[in-house]
Structure formats: structure tokens, C-alpha cells
Structure 1
Amino acid sequence: MCAISRRRFLVTGTAAGATAAFTLGMRPLDGVANAEDAGDVVLGKWETRSLSGVGNNQLHPDWGLAGTVYPRVAPANYSDGRGEQVFGPNPRYVSNRVFNDTGVHLYSERNVSAWAFVWGQFLDHTFAMRLGRRQTGEPGETANIPVDANDPIDKYPNNLGVLFFERSIPAAGTGETNPREQINQISSYIDASAVYGTSASRLNWLREGPADGNPEHEGARLLMPGNHLPRKRSRGNVDTAPTMVQGSQPDPGAPVVTGDQRSNENPMLNAVQTLFAREHNRIVALLPKSMSEQDRFQIARAVVIAEQQYITYNEFLPSMGVKLPRYAGYNPGVDTGISNEFATVGYRAHSLIRNDIHIETDAGRYSKATIEELRALGLTVNVAHGKAHMVLPLAEKTMFNPDLVEKVQLGPLLHGIGLKPHVKNDELIGDMLRSFVFELEPGVHGVNDLAAVDIQRGRDHGIPTYNQLRVAYGLPVKKSFRSITGEHTEEFRSTGLTPGDEINDPRSLEYTALYDIHGKRTTVEADNATKGVRRSTLAARLKAIYGSVDKVDAFVGMVAERHLPGSQFGELQLAIWRKQYAALRDGDRFFYANYSLLDHVKRAYGIDYRKSLGDLIALNTGMPRESLAPNVFFAQGTQHSFTAPSDADAADAVSPAVLGGAAAGGSAVAASKNAKPWHCGRAEV
């Protein structure tokens, strides 16, 4: 296995960029952190971590530091060895034939709830934010993706002729005589930086007090007017508030302000930020008032960080089927730096994102006026027998709308995230993210495609090919497309497709059968499928697109892999996650299992960081603990052991006409009598 390259480049100043994985698209961002901050000393004895990550590793103070280059596991892969993107199939062409879900949703085969993508994105905003714009605000170089207006599988209007794409800003001193490198603007630790930020100036604004820059005037509590996150207008002057990504929000004072600039992207992310701001203040209230404001703040911050780490390693990762070696203590020889491969390939999980959140709560929480306001924002709201049943879509009206958390209320929203399973972690991405149509001006339409962007970003960052990356992570190369997907054939065998041009036939994406989590036949209308069989195998489509396994883009091959038993990942993605999350644990001097301050806080004040996410929701929202699942990372009311279908030899077993005409447009699919049933062992949790 290749060692991580530890070359570092420190970046200072203000810049803008876009986040890597678990995000909803490119965003203008600011603020490379000041790397000169240092940790505090609490209660006269215990050191606390710095905001930027500097000095966490005392032998290598810049490991994990904000504003440094993403380290690499494998050598960079550029066509000229320096920075030119490698040539490959058109990313939009690949997206239409590999990532196209045709409107049919397949859900987690382990019944993992939507908390998988919500927590995943929250963590992403804690440890990764690529530099996408220069200090002057200028974008990176353009590398737009051409769009074929005559593609028979592309049904979305795009008369711009391209998908917009900007390359990441290269680190200074790279890309000329040596390989181009990219910059992570925030610290590479699970350190709650999404709550507290990575700069003293942002944190000063977030804490109660006059925000005059004097640490002695800062309160222990976070600023939360009415127990909600502060808005940019909360201190009176919008212009002096920290930068927040505003999106389509027209009111410059409306966005909430948190430690991370991306918190307004969607209401679920906003809700998690609210939860931990409340949790910080709850802990402060439990500490003796005789203690200094700074000590109370730092103790609460240390506990919140430990809680996020505890939830990540004891609930989130196990729910995803990620098992790590037993913790052996802090290892100063481990670099926690978020690798380029993890940020650019392994942690891109846009497939998981549901297009809606279901909310069920007491109708008495809402006035008639509020219900009408929610309906006007695009929510479906039904009231019956004293209960309110809502469906919150991820749509234009609900994105970058911080009012939603206050209107829906924090408890019901956090509860709702755990009600339904997330969309399966596979090669399929919903059109909400894969073919979002926008209008620049009347009659001029473009499309955003995150699948195409994910492919192009890998080439932008010089990510090796799929097989090269497997080797870098200690895995054997794949020699056939069938061996990637685990399917029975990589040839087009279905009747009814255009001979010799099957890859461009929309019917190749038609579903012939759907199965639920128990291996039983189901339909599109039931909206509970975890497995689908199409007229063509994924392996056949990959072969038609790439020709050779050795030419497959790493991201495409990774998500195409058959999942390992007891996991939501194939071999490569699981290896990437294991390596990175082990490093984030083992290389963090302040990891919860290595930080004696936390033991003292428990003994002296009765405050224990070892709480589940469900516990924290109950403590900070008034939701009864019994109303939440014991483990909210599993869809509420489901069993954690189940049978699920394995790959069936049924790609062309049934005519779509028998199934109700299921085609690339996403019409209904019914069960087939001829497709073979299949089962696998019980999932390990």
C-alpha cells in the first residue's frame, strides 16, 4: 500500500471555493483559516485543540492544518505529468448511461436512515472544503463539459452546449514542474469546526458578548437568539458578519451564521447545526458559574467535539458497515490529512441523498397560518386525527431557506430524518442532482449534473484510474467488467435493443424487475425497492463506454462495485473509508479516548460525552427519547437483520410491457414471475 505523501503548502488570505463530497453542488466559499492560532489551557491544566488544527501533532504541527494541500495515497495522474486532465469518455455521456436512475429509487439494503447522508454531509463540512476560487474571487480555469444535444438518452433541455465546470485552484508552486495539487481550506480533524469555525474572528462573532475581538469579553455560550442559530443581521451590521453561502436567498441578512459557510444549503444541515449549538449551551449551563467564561466555553467545546466523534465511530460508521481495527491509542506517526482520494472519490456519496424528508408530529404544534406557509414553500402537509404528516422536498424553495427549521421546528425535523431509509449507495443518482435544469434567461436552459462533475473533478485533481487506485489501496486489479459489478454478463443480451448500438438505446435502462429488502417482488409505486434488474447489465454498459477495465474512471468503478456482505460499500470505497477514518482517529491527539480532560469533566461535573445521536436530539428538542429509534441511523421501526436480494440472472427475463411499460422515463415497474429470487446472509451491524 502506498504511503500518503506529506508535502504541505500553507495558504493564507481570503479565498472562495466549493466543497467536496456529500454536498449539493459547487458553492462560492471564503476564508482560509489563520494558521497561527494555538490551543488554550483549561482549568490551568489541560491543553485544548487549536481552531485550525495547527499543533495537534507536536512532531508535525502542520499535519491536518487548515489551508494545506490534500495529501495523496497514490501518485497524481495527469496527461503531461503536471496538471493537464487525462482524456476519457465525456462525463455527461457516462452520466446518462451509468448514473441515470430513470426516476426509480432504490433504497439502502441495510435500511440505514437518511441520517447517513445528513451526518455524512455534516462531517464533510467539518473536515473538507477545497479551494475553488482565488483570493481575488476569480474562479479557477474553465474546463466545461460538452453536451450532445442529440444524445438519445438525454431528455433534459440544454441549449448552452456545456455543463459549467471550473477547476480547483492549484497550490502555489505546483503544476508547473511538478504535479498540480489542491488545497483543503479547513482542518483535517473531526473537531466540530462546522460549529465553531477555524478562525478566531468567526468564533468571536459566534460567541455571546460584544464581538469586539477581545477574547476577555467573549461569553461561554454561543449566540442563539430565541434558541435558534443567529442570522447575519443578529448583531445589527450584515456587512461585518462572517461570510455565509447565500445561494438563492435574496435577503442578505437572512442566512444563519455557523462555523462553516455552507450551513444554509439545506434544512437538514441547518437543523444539525442548530442541534449542536444548543448542545454546547446546554453543557455550559451544567458547569459551575464560578468557573471562568473561557473555561466553561472550552469544556463545552471539548465535550461537543467528543460527542461528534463518539457518534461517528459508534453509530455512523457501523451503520454503513465500516469496521476499523481496535483503537490502540494516539499515534503521532499518523497523518490525519484528508487525502485527495478520499475527498475527490471515496467520500462522494451523492447517490445516498433522498429527494424528500417525511415528518410526522402533533398537528397542535402548528397554526393554520404556519401550515399554509409550509405548503407555499412546497411541503406537502396533511392533517388528520391530530397528527401532521409532511413531506419536505429538497427543491429550490427549500434550499438556502433557514426559515424552514424554525417553521417545521427542530424536533420534528430531526425525528423525520430517521423515519425513512436513504437512497442506496450505488451508481445511481436522482435527477434532482444529476439533471437539475436552470434558466439563465428566457429560453436559455442549462443543466447541473453532479455525477458528471464528480467524474470531471477526479480528472481535475489527477486521480488515478480505477485499477491504479485499487492497487494503491492494497487491492488486486479487476480484469473484467463483470468482476467489478458482480453481474453474470458484460454483453448486451436483451432482445429489443438496437443491434450494435445498444449503449445509445434508451430502452437499455428499462427495469424488468424490482425487489424489496426481503427479496420479494415490488413496484415503483410501493417505493420500497432495494434492488432493480435492467434490460442491460451495468457491466455491459461500462464495457461499451470504456472498452478496457484499465481505462475506467476511479469514481465510476468504485460506485459500480458489488457491495461486500454487511456493508454499503464495494471493496475500494470501503478501503478508502477505513484508511481515512482510522487516520482521523489514530492521528488525533485530542481523540475522545485519548483525552483525559473528558474523564475529569465526567467525574467532577457528571457530564458524559458518550451519548447517542438520539440522546442528543431528545435532550435538546423536548422530543421524548422513546419517540426516537434506539439508533437513529436505522430507519425507524425496522429490524436491523434482514434478507436482501443478490444479483439475479434476469436482465432480460421479462418484457417491459408485462411490467407496465417501465422505461428510461421512469414509469411503473411491476413484479415478474420469471426473474429468479435471490437472497444473501443477514447483514452485520
Structure 2
Amino acid sequence: MKFINKSIFLILLIVLSKTQADSFDEVNLIKTRKVVIDNTFYEKCVSKQFTCYSSAKYRSMDGTCNNLQNPLWGSSFSPYIRLDKAYYADGNFSMRVQFRDGKPLPSARTLQVGIFWMQTPSWDIPDINNYQVNQFGQYLAHDITLMPSNFAVPPNDCCEVQGQKNIPLSCQAVIKVEANDPSYSIINKTCLPFKRAMTAAIDFNCPIFPQIPFNQQTAFIDASQLYGPTPKKAASLRSFQGGKLKTEEINGQKFGIQVQRNGSKLCGGRNNVNYCFNRGDVRNNQHFGLILYEETFLRFHNLITDLLIELNPHWIDETLYHEGRRIVIAFEEIIVYRDYLPILLGKDYCDSVGLSLSKDNKTVYDPTIMPQLAVEFSAAAFRIPHNVAPMFYYFLDQNYDVTEIYKLNEFMGIADQIVPINKLEELLRGMCYNQGRSPLPNYNPLITSRLFHGWVKGAADQDLASIDVQRGRDSGIPPYYKFREICGFKNITSFNDLVGIFYDDFDIGRLQLFYDSVFDIDFIVGALLEKNVEGGMVGETARCIIADSFFRSRNGDRFFFDVPDQPGSFTEEQLDVLWSLDLSQLFCLTTNIDQLPVDIFKPLEVLDMYDCKSIELNLGPWKVDNTG
């Protein structure tokens, strides 16, 4: 097997069978391990027969046929893989219990209050990066992972059925709230609603045991949050004219199409919402920052198709659409690996393990690499960046004076505030100018007690930190000590072994107040308490798991933008254009903003600026000679 940059990093040799396969070996950190991947889904649960064409220039909408030998690898609506065995009390689906006595683990909310609550400041401690790092990370997450619960089956609020006979299986994991809870006791709230994730066996009639959740998105970075993860969804968003995505004009501005204005499920059933956009991912209306990214990426696609049709007036709608999509995907891939991951994981680390991009060292596609994301990544490790979600959105005018301030939790699922003239630009300016939230162990207080405040019944006043702990248990991921072993770090056999790993050794004492054994610590709890790696925003254990999935998603992707010698490979001239682009230029090209920082992830006041009027997109290398 070939290795990027001669690194020996995280290559997970997945043999889709009942046999075991060596997993991965990271530079001096990750020891060779064994994983067992069930082949049931691929052999027994898919009736459709695939005919894949090696000559295909464009990737499919649902990720199928990326791997010609294994057409379903990385496709949407397929099961996650595991990096270790499932940790369920009954070996199948019951939530993990205490190691020593088999009693229930402490409530996720009890852990949030007892370990993190007292350390949570009432303001955002500023970071060296701005809001854009958090926002791009969430936009990316919505591209590659969605672990849905089945809200089509009642009840929506699982707390309402507690105490009844025959509680639905999906509602048997609500989060207990203590009577002395510092926030919820005031409103007599004793239960936080929680629905278990949909699994292959229970929800899709695919007998994989132990249970394994499904990924509704493709595992590839393919802008499915914009275009949709299935052909049907993608078709619903297309205009079928000039390769464009559908738009509507609102206040003289182009926005994407909307769903039903009032009572739409995509906007949480709220009756006071006037604008609710329809995109490739159901979470797109979640808050202002996501809507900004969805709208500007949509406009970017349509701008590209306008330029392509000028260069190639003979191209039909289908060609324009897929070529535009191909360029947008390549752009997102570049931002992820060139700009975002070095900030999240540390540049030196990315260089050393083969995650960095290089013009001179192109990605080597390896068809033996399973690109599907690990459940440990989606249910835990890539949730760690929730700790940098800011409390407020600031809107700034051209003079950088604040015009509006909105609390994150009170304006979720609402787009009304950003559709008036210049408001998208004011939001963008605020996200660039204001320093982001420093990556500390705690989440901001607005999302740990008042998440979705004022939203729909059953979702209002949630705690994201508790949800993240519970989702890890729901998915059967290993406890914290096991992740340390998976990543090749020193084995954890006692609380004393945690000394020097966390921000503050005092946290070890807090853990002992709630966990009976060091073997009980939830992964996300331990990972949040870890010291951040040098030059990065997460601890070393989370970094290990995050890096694994991004390595496989890239090196197991036949259509990744710089993979050579494929029917869909870009020319060197086209690659030069793609390499020259950055996120600031995209925002310049798709909004009426006057200037933006050259480095979109750093606060405005410390950086060189682009004059947005001078930014142009030259797609000359895409011109095709049609004289013959």
C-alpha cells in the first residue's frame, strides 16, 4: 500500500467480512489494532444492483460507485464503521453501565453540572481565531455526517412517555435531571428529551448486531449539505436551466428556495418564521452562520455556471450543473485540508501524518481504504468543537459599528434577521471581526441549559453538552481509557494515570466524585478536559480520531480534486485556478461586502485585507474548443 508523504498514518485496512483486519498505525503514536467490520449491509441489505463506470467524470449524488470494486463504500444511508468493538451493556443495544458493579453511569446532565458548570464563564473567552473557524467546521460536519433519530415516529418529546408501560425503544435513554440542578430546578424540569439514533437493524431492517447507526450523508467531502445526499433531493434543488440551483428573489437579493413558510418541519414547526430555506441538509436553517454559508456557496455555484456558459455556450444544463458542482466540491476540499485542519489539529501534525495539501505531492487514491466515517468520530470526537460555538452573533455595518446582537440559542431555525438588505454582509463582517470562543473544556452557557430556547415543544431548553455525552453512550462507543489505547498512548489503569493529560489536574478529583472507576469515564468528557495540542484546538486523543476519518475520507475518494489520472481529474491549469482561491474570495464574489481579511479565520484588525471589488474569478482553463 502507498502512503502519503511516506507517512505511516491511520490507514484502516477494512476487510468487510467477519474476519479481523489490521486497523492503522500513526507515527509513533498508534499501535496496530484489530477491528471487526460486519459485511451484512453490503451483502444482504441492499437489493439494488450497481453498474459502475470507470470512465465516469463526475461523482454520483449519493456517493455510490466511488469505489468501483465496492460501490457502496462511503455512500449515503449506509452504516458507520467502528474503530473498536461496540460497548453496550447487553452486547447489542443497552446503554453502557459501570465497569465494576453494573450500575447505571451517572446522568449526562449530572456530569455537565458537576464537572463543567462551575468552570463555565458567563462570556466568551476570546481566541486567536474568529467566528469563521467554528462556523466552517460546522458547515463541513453537515457535509459528511448526520446520525438521525426517527422523529417521524411519535412521541417527539420522549420525556412525556416516561413512567408509561411499553416505552418505545427510541425513548428509553432520556437524560435525568437532578432536583438540585442549578438551572432546570427553577422551572421544575426533571428530564431532558433524547431519542436514540436510528440503527441498521431497528430502523432499516438490516440485521447488523451489535447495533450500528446509519450515516445519512456521504462520507466524502462532496458538498452534499448544499446539493443533497440523494439523486431525488438533488433534483428538487435544481432549476434545470443553465446548470443552476433554484433561487428566489427576496428584497432584491438572490436566496435559495424556501420550504413552507409557517409550520415547516425543517424550521422546527415554528409559526413565527417567515423565511425557511430548503437545502441539501435538513439542519441548514439551524442558525445564522450556517445560513450564511449555505447561501454564499449556492451563489458561488450559480456564479460558476454563469461563467462556464460564457466560455462554453454549447454546454447543456447537465454538463454545467455537474461541472459547477465539481468545482465547488474541489474548493471545499481545499479549504478543509489546506486551511481548516491545520488550525484544528495543528499544522506540524498535519504535515507529519499526511493530511496537509501540497501542489507537488498529490493525493494518492487507494481503493483498499474504506472511506466511511467511524461512529467514534461522528458521535464523539468531531463534537468536541462544540466548545467553540459562540454565545452571540454580532452584526456590523461598514464602519464596524454594531447594529444588532443576537443570542445564538434564541434565533435558531430563523432566517428572518438576515434577509433584509445588507444584513448578510453585516453578519459576515461580524463573524470576521469578532474573536471566536477559546477552545476550553466547557461549552457556552447558552447551549448547555437553554439550547433551542423558545423553539418547539420537546426541544426547547436543551443541553448540548449532555446530549453529546448521551449520544456517545447511545452509539456504543468505547470509554475514554479505551480511546487512549486505540491511539497508542500510555494505558490508563487508574485515576493517577491522568495526571499531566488534562488542563488542570484538579479535574481528576472532580471525575472521581462521579465515576466509580477510571474505566467508566465517557470519551467526550475526558477528551474535553485534555490539554489542547500545540497549534491546535483539540486534545491529542480527539485529534487522533478526527485525523483518522479525514485521512480515509480523502485517500479513499477516487474523485478527490488532486487525484491524478482519473477521468474526472482536473488539468494542471485548472488546479492552479483552484489553488488560488480562498474562502474570503468566495464571500467577496457572492455578497456586496466591501473588504475581507486575506486570512478568513483571523480577526479583521490584525490582517491584510482584500478589496472585494478587485476580486474576479477566471475560469479560462475550462474553455473547451468546439470548432471541430
Q: Partners of 1:125 and 1:632 in 2: how far apart?
A: 20
* Letter paired with 2:317: E
2:302 to 265, 281, 287: 281
Q: Per the alignment, do residues 105 and 597 of structure 1 end up closer, same or farther by CA in structure 2, a change over 3 Å counting? A: farther
Indicate if the aligned counterparts of 1:350 and 1:429 stay in contact, CA closer than 8 A. Answer: yes
Q: Partners of 2:258 and 2:320 in 1: how far apart?
A: 25
The alignment status of 1:52 with 2:88, answered yes or no, reads no
Q: Deviations over 1:483-542 (max 9, x none)?
A: 546389xxxxxxxxxxxxxxxxxxxxxxxxxxxxxxxxxxxxxxxxxx9x8xx9222211
2:592 to 622, 625, 628: 622
* Letter paired with 1:577: I
Q: Deviations over 1:528-562 (max 9, x none)?
A: xxx9x8xx922221122224322211111111111
1:161 to 182, 190, 196: 190
Unaligned runs of 5+ in 1: 12-32, 210-217, 363-385, 489-530, 641-685
* Secondary structure in structure 2 of the residue aligned to 1:259: coil
Structure 1 residue 156 displacement after superposition:
4.8
Q: Partners of 1:34 and 1:611 in 2: how far apart?
A: 42
Indicate if the aligned counterparts of 2:41 and 2:206 stay in contact, CA closer than 8 A. Answer: no
1:122 to 117, 126, 139: 139
Match of 1:229 in 2: 255
When structure 1 is superposed on structure 2, of 170-179 and 470-479 the one drifting more is 170-179
Structure 1 residue 230 displacement after superposition:
2.9
Match of 1:592 in 2: 561
Q: Partners of 1:463 and 1:199 in 2: how far apart?
A: 28
When structure 1 is superposed on structure 2, of 601-610 and 559-568 the one drifting more is 601-610
Match of 2:79 in 1: 69
Match of 2:243 in 1: 220
Paired residues for 1:653-672 under 5 Å: none
* Secondary structure in structure 1 of the residue aligned to 2:186: coil
* Secondary structure in structure 2 of the residue aligned to 1:133: coil
* Letter paired with 1:222: L
Match of 1:308 in 2: 332
* Secondary structure in structure 2 of the residue aligned to 1:476: coil
TM-score, L = length of structure 2? 0.76
Counting aligned pairs with the same residue, the percent is 24
The alignment status of 1:172 with 2:201, answered yes or no, reads yes
Structure 1 residue 582 displacement after superposition:
0.9
Structure 1 residue 607 displacement after superposition:
5.3
The alignment status of 1:207 with 2:231, answered yes or no, reads no
Q: Per the alignment, do residues 208 and 9 of structure 1 end up closer, same or farther by CA in structure 2, a change over 3 Å counting? A: farther
* Secondary structure in structure 2 of the residue aligned to 1:448: coil
Paired residues for 1:464-613 under 5 Å: 464-479=478-493, 481=495, 484=498, 486=500, 537-594=506-563, 600=570, 603=573, 608=578, 610-613=580-583
Match of 1:344 in 2: 379
When structure 1 is superposed on structure 2, of 405-414 and 159-168 the one drifting more is 405-414
Structure 1 residue 71 displacement after superposition:
0.5
Indicate if the aligned counterparts of 2:345 and 2:536 stay in contact, CA closer than 8 A. Answer: yes
* Secondary structure in structure 1 of the residue aligned to 2:405: strand
Q: Partners of 1:472 and 1:268 in 2: how far apart?
A: 35
Q: Deviations over 1:644-678 (max 9, x none)?
A: xxxxxxxxxxxxxxxxxxxxxxxxxxxxxxxxxxx
Residues paired across the two proteins, number: 530
Q: Per the alignment, do residues 597 and 403 of structure 1 end up closer, same or farther by CA in structure 2, a change over 3 Å counting? A: farther
Structure 1 residue 477 displacement after superposition:
2.0
Match of 2:148 in 1: 131
* Letter paired with 1:637: E
* Secondary structure in structure 1 of the residue aligned to 2:551: helix
Q: Per the alignment, do residues 353 and 238 of structure 1 end up closer, same or farther by CA in structure 2, a change over 3 Å counting? A: closer
Structure 1 residue 361 displacement after superposition:
2.2
* Letter paired with 1:579: D
Match of 1:670 in 2: none
Structure 1 residue 319 displacement after superposition:
1.6
Q: Partners of 1:129 and 1:430 in 2: how far apart?
A: 23
Match of 1:255 in 2: 276
The alignment status of 1:182 with 2:213, answered yes or no, reads yes
Q: Per the alignment, do residues 601 and 141 of structure 1 end up closer, same or farther by CA in structure 2, a change over 3 Å counting? A: same
Paired residues for 1:85-484 under 5 Å: 85-87=95-97, 88-100=105-117, 101-105=119-123, 107=125, 111-133=128-150, 140-151=170-181, 153-154=182-183, 156-172=185-201, 178-209=209-240, 219-226=242-249, 227-232=253-258, 245-247=266-268, 249-250=270-271, 254-287=275-308, 288-322=312-346, 323-324=349-350, 325-326=353-354, 328-348=363-383, 349-362=385-398, 388-395=401-408, 397-407=410-420, 408-436=422-450, 447-479=461-493, 481=495, 484=498
Q: Per the alignment, do residues 610 and 260 of structure 1 end up closer, same or farther by CA in structure 2, a change over 3 Å counting? A: farther
* Secondary structure in structure 2 of the residue aligned to 1:422: strand
* Letter paired with 1:404: Q
* Secondary structure in structure 1 of the residue aligned to 2:393: strand
Q: Partners of 1:603 and 1:190 in 2: how far apart?
A: 22
Q: Deviations over 1:143-186 (max 9, x none)?
A: 112222135x5565242421111211221279989312111112
* Letter paired with 1:303: I
Unaligned runs of 5+ in 2: 1-31, 98-104, 157-169, 355-361, 609-628
- Specify which structure has the higher proportion of helix: 2
Indicate if the aligned counterparts of 2:112 and 2:465 stay in contact, CA closer than 8 A. Answer: yes
Indicate if the aligned counterparts of 1:37 and 1:50 stay in contact, CA closer than 8 A. Answer: no
* Letter paired with 2:547: R
Q: Partners of 1:571 and 1:66 in 2: how far apart?
A: 29
Indicate if the aligned counterparts of 2:409 and 2:446 stay in contact, CA closer than 8 A. Answer: no
* Letter paired with 2:561: Y
Structure 1 residue 40 displacement after superposition:
9.4
* Letter paired with 1:301: R
Q: Partners of 1:403 and 1:105 in 2: how far apart?
A: 26
Structure 1 residue 621 displacement after superposition:
1.4
Indicate if the aligned counterparts of 1:427 and 1:560 stay in contact, CA closer than 8 A. Answer: yes
Q: Per the alignment, do residues 468 and 439 of structure 1 end up closer, same or farther by CA in structure 2, a change over 3 Å counting? A: closer
Indicate if the aligned counterparts of 1:130 and 1:183 stay in contact, CA closer than 8 A. Answer: yes
* Letter paired with 1:557: G
Q: Deviations over 1:317-372 (max 9, x none)?
A: 1122343333651111111111100001101122110011233222xxxxxxxxxx
Structure 1 residue 391 displacement after superposition:
4.4
* Letter paired with 1:54: T
Structure 1 residue 603 displacement after superposition:
4.0
Indicate if the aligned counterparts of 1:82 and 1:176 stay in contact, CA closer than 8 A. Answer: no
* Secondary structure in structure 1 of the residue aligned to 2:417: helix
When structure 1 is superposed on structure 2, of 135-144 and 272-281 the one drifting more is 135-144
Indicate if the aligned counterparts of 2:410 and 2:452 stay in contact, CA closer than 8 A. Answer: no
* Letter paired with 1:623: I
Indicate if the aligned counterparts of 1:70 and 1:338 stay in contact, CA closer than 8 A. Answer: yes
When structure 1 is superposed on structure 2, of 174-183 and 154-163 the one drifting more is 174-183
Q: Partners of 2:523 and 2:476 in 1: how far apart?
A: 11
Match of 2:17 in 1: none
Q: Per the alignment, do residues 471 and 208 of structure 1 end up closer, same or farther by CA in structure 2, a change over 3 Å counting? A: same
Q: Partners of 2:274 and 2:47 in 1: how far apart?
A: 25
Q: Per the alignment, do residues 416 and 8 of structure 1 end up closer, same or farther by CA in structure 2, a change over 3 Å counting? A: farther
Q: Partners of 2:190 and 2:403 in 1: how far apart?
A: 38
Q: Partners of 1:445 and 1:629 in 2: how far apart?
A: 37
Match of 2:602 in 1: 634
Q: Per the alignment, do residues 303 and 341 of structure 1 end up closer, same or farther by CA in structure 2, a change over 3 Å counting? A: same
Q: Per the alignment, do residues 334 and 463 of structure 1 end up closer, same or farther by CA in structure 2, a change over 3 Å counting? A: same
